[in-house]
Homo-oligomer: A and B are copies of this chain.
Amino acid sequence: MQVAIPIFPRFTALDAVGPYEVIQRLPDVEPVFVAEQRGEVRTENGFLGMVADATFAEVPAPDVVIVPGGFGSRALLEENPLLAWLRAVHPGTRYTTSVCTGALLLAAAGLLDGLTATTHWGAVDVLQELGAVPVHQRVVEHLDRRIITAAGVSSGIDMAIRLVALLEDDLAARATQVFIEYDPEPPFDAGHPSKVGDDVMARVAEYRNARR
């Protein structure tokens, strides 16, 4: 089972690596990082290079697609090879999924028209402009359409465990969860803007502008 993870300049590393780490535990899964060209792709703020091992042309029929987001997704909303590849491969996938602003790319490819979907809290407006119906939910599944979207960054871990349950069974999903010891204990209850005050959001804006 081939699981393709497309990457692009300024993607968010954890969007891709969270689901990757879950799904690569399945012995019959072959994950592949794919991009317009083979080679190094730098993540969001340039501090980390990850390697694409295949071009889009070399991965014409993946069984599963997981699209990460990142600041760089905003530069890919007009026609480009990634969107063309998403449109071309989606009819043959078992599941086409996104994490964070990866949903914007699914939407820009026309795969979310009129569908409820989720994304990073900071991208809800753009998701709507692109034709989807944003909902505040950690994971949104349209199993009849074989489309799953996950919220911001870390939500890809939750999504991927659910994906394993769909691809294999609950036992497999629980096994991957034990394997990565996903027994979260966030030190704060601060995982969404609805849970924090203006002081925290001011700090978020400050950090965001510093590294946009």
Contacts and interface: CB of A to CB of B under 8 A. Distances in A.
Interface stretch (A78-86, A87-95, A108-116, A172-180): A172-180
Interface string A153-179: 111011001100100001111111111
A14 B21 contact: yes
B187 A199 contact: no
Nearest to A99: B181
B203 A191 contact: no
How many of these chains are in the complex? 2
Among A21, A187, A192, find the residue whose CB has the most chain B CB atoms closer than 10 A. Answer: A187
Interface string A1-23: 00000000000111001101100
Contact of A53 (B49, B154, B188): B49
Given A17-B14, A48-B33, A154 B174 contact: no
B200 A174 contact: yes
A200 B178 contact: yes
A190 B164 CA distance: 14
Contact of A195 (B120, B151, B170, B183): B183
B177 A190 contact: yes
A204 interface: yes
Contacts of A100: 181
Interface residues of A, number: 74
A134 interface: no
16 contacts: A14-B180, A17-B18, A20-B47, A31-B47, A31-B48, A120-B181, A121-B181, A152-B180, A154-B180, A170-B188, A173-B190, A174-B190, A176-B207, A178-B201, A183-B186, A184-B191
Closest CB pairs A-B (n = 5):
A183-B191, A152-B181, A49-B51, A27-B210, A14-B21
Interface of A: 12-14, 17-18, 20-21, 24-27, 30-33, 40, 44-45, 47-51, 53, 100, 120-121, 138-139, 151-155, 157-158, 161-162, 165, 170-188, 190-193, 195-196, 199-201, 203-204, 206-208, 210-211
